Structure 1
Amino acid sequence: MAGRPSPSVTLENVALAAGVSRATVSRVVSGTGPVSAEAQRRVRAAADALGHVVDPVARALASGAGTRVVVAVTGTSDAIPDCDHTARVVAAGARVCGPEGLGIVLRRLPLRAPGREL
């Protein structure tokens, strides 16, 4: 019987359960690279039993592919990205974008040009 899907089950968890390397699990999940039929069977069985689900955001970030939404904040203080409002905006963005496979990137844009006095 398959386990309940859980985004907290990692490739490492599946590798340990299947008795293979993390790289082998990654190749099976992504459908790339050579993997024996037996290793594929063991990885798929372990992933099912543990309830592993593919995280599209993690996959996109790991591969360097995918689309990211940039949240840009401005200000004269390095503390701006740590404020409560920014945290709420980023969290809301992650809730909306994550299920669509989009990553969130937070960037601070200085209010003044580097090397210029205010």
Structure 2
Amino acid sequence: MRRVVAQVRAVARALLGHQADADDAAQKALLEILAGARSYRGDGSVEAWARRIAVRTVLRHVRRERRQPSAVTQVHDEPDCLHAPPVASPLEDLPRSVPPTSRCRCA
């Protein structure tokens, strides 16, 4: 794994561009490489074998992400969200000072 981690990350970044998505896809690819380690026959270099798995896994990740609409898209596509009651400002929950009275009735 130490030999291929940097290469797998580079493949994911090259194919995805977005850092967070690339990290997720690289992690999936590394898990696939670990799961398939027993099937490595030694015909080629470990790096080339891992790169092929990484490319296939990252592309599969991209296809899955395209098929699933994001949560942000779902919220904004619903017309009911336009008629939702206004959200209270966080400033409304802050304590306010009490206005001074003209006389103090302290005992």
Q: Tell whether the structures are fold-level matches, with TM greater than 0.5.
A: no
Higher helix content, 1 or 2? 2
Higher strand share: 1
In our comparison, the structure showing a higher alpha carbon Rg is 2
When normalised by structure 1's length, the TM-score is 0.23
* TM norm structure 2: 0.24
